[in-house]
Amino acid sequence: MSRFYFVFTALFLSACSSDVFLVHNGNMPSDDKISMVQTGQTKEEVADILGSPSAVSSINENEWIYMSSTLKKVAFFEPKILERDVLTIRFGKNGKVQEISKLDEKNGKNISVDEEETASEGHNPGFFKKYFGGVGQYMPIGPSKEK
């Protein structure tokens, strides 16, 4: 019987993948290109140098975000962040570069997700209303029009 467990465990462990995958996501321009961007340049000039941003801030359309990350994935384990870079370019109301900031994983902050649920007030039908409340309300042909 112990031989069975040994064989089962050996087969189970051999089925696990030991492959390592490096996954790169995003669009981070090179440092040479980033150094070409100066305050006072227009959005068009920045786009010509850096290309399209990864995202435009939903809160402020004058904030362009370029980001990239490299993750190490091993089998079914949680991916490990090897590298993360975020470049933010803020434009003033005149449409010209006002501020350039670059952050990496050392400057980042972990944000925890709160898993509590928010109670919502509203309609809470009973069993019969929930499952039988629509009986008789579906009329595929429509009411008859007698003259």
The answer to which of 26-40, 47-61, 93-107, 121-135 has the lowest mean pLDDT is 121-135
Task: For the chain, give the percent of residues with pLDDT over 70.
Answer: 77
Q: Is residue 52 part of a domain?
A: yes
Give the model's confidence band at 114: pLDDT under 50 very low, under 70 low, under 90 confident, else very high. confident
Which among 96, 77, 79, 99 has a CA at the least distance from the CA of 88? Answer: 99
Q: Does some domain include residue 132?
A: no
Mean pLDDT across the stretch 70-97?
88
Q: Which two tokens stand for residue 21?
A: 């995958």
CATH code assigned at 86: 3.30.1450
In a domain, 47, yes or no: yes
130 within some domain: no
Q: Is the pTM of this model over 0.75?
A: no
72: domain range? 18-106
Q: Domains in the chain: how many in total?
A: 1
> What pLDDT is recorded for position 43?
93
